[in-house]
Amino acid sequence: MRNALIAVLLFSGLSFAQNSDRKLIDPNVDVKNAPANSVYVIPAGTKIPLVLRQSIWTKNAKENDSVYAATNFPVVVDGQMVIPPGTYVQGIVSQVKRAGRVKGRAELLVHFTSLIYPSGYTVLLPGAVDSAPDVDGKVKGKEGTVEGAGGKGKDAGTIAQTGGYGTLIGGLAGQSGKGAAVGGGLGAAAGLAAVLFTRGPDLKIENGTAIDMVLERPVTVDKTRIRVNN
């Protein structure tokens, strides 16, 4: 009985030691603890050109919706390609704001959260929109909020057009300058009402649009897993 108990204790100790050894040689070591010569560090502020792989529209987008893009130009650090073209980039919609009925423009805030290499190696990151030259609007603020174009010109056109129709109808009906004036006033009022009850233009970023992402902090990648030579 005693010999059997000793054998059980020895077997348990051996199993524990083997499990401990497996933990020590776990290949999925955090790159933060890896030797300096086995990693690349992509500096904060690095701009990474992307192509959007889906459309984003403030009319139907919601917070926490996924955003998909891909790199379209290599990123090089110390003479080595650390992000090849075709690397997938994933993010989320952080904030959506539709244009107001009287003032305010549509806004969209996107944060990029990860790189997915062709090898399947995934790296977490904090990325923001730096520029979007092909978008009808502008990028503002440190977080990279994309603001859509305003609708003032369109609103003025609506008022002018309905006022012109009113003037024409009033002139034909009254056959006088007074009738035309009254008709013009009524038409302008109708145009103003239409503007007040209609939202400004929504912001739509089309699939295939080129945008630039900027890294908000340094990102460390494992040299052996990004397959830079492929």
pLDDT digits (tens, 9 = 90+) for 7-55: 544 444 444 444 433 333 333 445 566 666 789 999 999 999 999 999 9
Q: How far apart are CA 64 and CA 169, in angstroms?
A: 51
pLDDT digits (tens, 9 = 90+) for 148-172: 876 555 544 444 555 454 444 445 4
Q: How far apart are CA 16 and CA 18, in angstroms?
A: 5
pLDDT band at 210 (very low <50, low <70, confident <90, very high): very high
Continuous H helices in 74-176: 152-174
Q: Which residue has the higher pLDDT, 187 or 95?
A: 95
Encoding tokens for residue 190? 């109708």
Query: How many C-alpha atoms does 89 have within 13 Å on its Cβ side?
Result: 29
The percent of residues in the chain predicted with pLDDT above 90, rounded, is: 47
pLDDT digits (tens, 9 = 90+) for 48-92: 999 999 999 999 999 999 999 999 999 999 899 999 999 999 999
Q: Is 24 helix (H, G, I), strand (E, B) or coil?
A: helix
Residue 75: exposure state from Cβ atoms within 10 A (0-12, 13-18, ≥19): buried
What is the three-state SS of 171-193? HHHHCCHHHHHHHHHHHHHHHHH
Q: How far apart are CA 40 and CA 96, in angstroms?
A: 35
Residue 176: predicted pLDDT: 54
Are the beta carbons of 49 and 69 closer than 8 angstroms?
no
Residue 34: predicted pLDDT: 62
* Stretch (H or E) spanning 1: none
Residue 178: predicted pLDDT: 55
pLDDT digits (tens, 9 = 90+) for 102-115: 567 999 999 999 99
Q: C-alpha angle 113/226/130, rounded to 5°?
A: 35
Encoding tokens for residue 169? 């109808």
Q: How far apart are CA 70 and CA 91, in angstroms?
A: 11
Q: Mean of the per-residue pLDDT values for the chain?
A: 75
Are the beta carbons of 38 and 29 closer than 8 angstroms?
no
Determine the longest span between alpha carbons in the chain, in angstroms: 121
Residue 16: predicted pLDDT: 42
